[in-house]
């Protein structure tokens, strides 16, 4: 199998034991590329999964001071490898890259499919037409996870081009689609959690519409 990032062969020497136990890897990455991605370590913020923060991080303290709550989980650190991956996936249109973390996303979200409504962060219509796909629903489709595409987003300046201060002061870009059915327990899904501003804006809309338990998840933090 070819690595989806470096395009080298991912095959490793097969062992008789692996073949007997049917444990041969079906990884979409070679081992070298896989090693570049760093999982969030055991020492992380208990609220947002910020790596290295064993207690409540400064970002979460700021949200708490504003009367907000944070119940977020993430899988990977937003290091250079992840930054490059997200850039290529989102902005270069390499849709096959959605498959790389599918099994891990499935492992985390599958247990919530029946108890919670999974809601992906949407793109504006302009960005969707330019890109051709929503990177978040791409992750979920690759993982075979059911979701409810009930949010709309109006055109705003890209989060990646904003300063930290601008992100925290962002105006409400989201709305709930007409006739959309919102459940009481939801999980907001995004690709990256930076300051938490996007999740908080989506949370505000969903709370006002009647959601009572709101969790969130992202691939990277």
The mean pLDDT value of the chain amounts to: 91
- Residue 169's pLDDT is 72
Give the whole-angstrom CA distance, residue 220 versus residue 75. Answer: 6
Residues 152-179, mean pLDDT to the nearest whole number: 80
Residue 25: pLDDT band by 50, 70, 90 thresholds? very low
| 50 in Cβ contact with 59 (< 8 Å) | yes
pLDDT exceeds 70 at position 11: no
Residue 119 has pLDDT above 50, yes or no: yes
Domain ranges of the chain: 43-220
Is the distance from CB of 188 to CB of 215 less than 8 angstroms? Answer: yes
How large is the average pLDDT for residues 123-144?
96
Cα 122 to Cα 18, 67, 126, 205: the distances in Å are: 41, 25, 11, 13
3-state SS, the chain, equals: CECCCCCCECCCCCCHHHHHHCCCCCCCCCHHHHHHCCECCCCECCCCCCECCCCCCHHHHHHHHCCCCCCEEEEECCCHHHHHHHHHHHHCCCHHHHHCCHHHHHHHHHHHCCCCEEEECCCCHHHHHHHCCCHHHHHHHHHCCCCCCCEEECCCCCHHHCCHHHHHCCCCCEEECCCCCCCCEEEEEEEECCCCHHHHHHHHHHHHCCCCEEEEEEEEC
Which of these CATH numbers, 2.60.120, 1.10.3470, 3.40.50, 1.10.287, describes 43-220?
A: 3.40.50
pLDDT at 162: 64
Give me the pLDDT at residue 171, please.
87
pLDDT surpasses 60 at 38 = yes
Q: What is the mean pLDDT of residues 153-179?
A: 80
Asked if the model's pLDDT at residue 159 lies above 70, the reply is no
The pLDDT value given to residue 213: 98
Place of tokens 């870009």: 173
Average pLDDT over residues 116-125: 98
User: pTM to 2 decimals?
Assistant: 0.87
Tens of pLDDT, residues 40-91: 999 999 999 999 998 999 999 999 999 999 999 999 999 999 999 999 999 9
Average of per-residue pLDDT across 166-180? 86
């Amino acid at each position: 199998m070819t690595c989806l990032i470096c395009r080298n062969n991912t095959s490793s020497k097969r062992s008789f034991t692996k073949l007997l136990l049917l444990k041969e890897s079906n990884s979409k990455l070679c081992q070298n590329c896989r090693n570049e991605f760093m999982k969030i370590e055991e020492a992380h913020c208990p609220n947002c999964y910020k790596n290295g923060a064993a207690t409540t991080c400064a970002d979460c303290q700021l949200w708490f001071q504003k009367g907000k709550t944070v119940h977020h989980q993430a899988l990977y650190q937003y290091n250079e490898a992840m930054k490059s991956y997200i850039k290529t996936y989102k902005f270069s249109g390499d849709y096959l890259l959605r498959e790389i973390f599918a099994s891990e996303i499935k492992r985390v979200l599958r247990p919530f499919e029946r108890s919670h409504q999974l809601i992906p962060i949407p793109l504006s219509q302009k960005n969707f037409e330019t890109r051709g796909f929503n990177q978040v629903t791409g992750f979920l489709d690759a993982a075979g996870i059911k979701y409810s595409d009930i949010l709309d987003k109006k055109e705003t300046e890209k989060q990646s081009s904003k300063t930290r201060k601008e992100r925290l002061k962002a105006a409400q870009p989201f709305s709930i689609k007409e006739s959309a059915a919102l459940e009481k327990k939801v999980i907001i899904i995004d690709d990256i959690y930076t300051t938490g501003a996007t999740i908080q804006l989506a949370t505000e809309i969903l709370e006002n519409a009647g959601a009572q338990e709101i969790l969130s998840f992202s691939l990277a933090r």
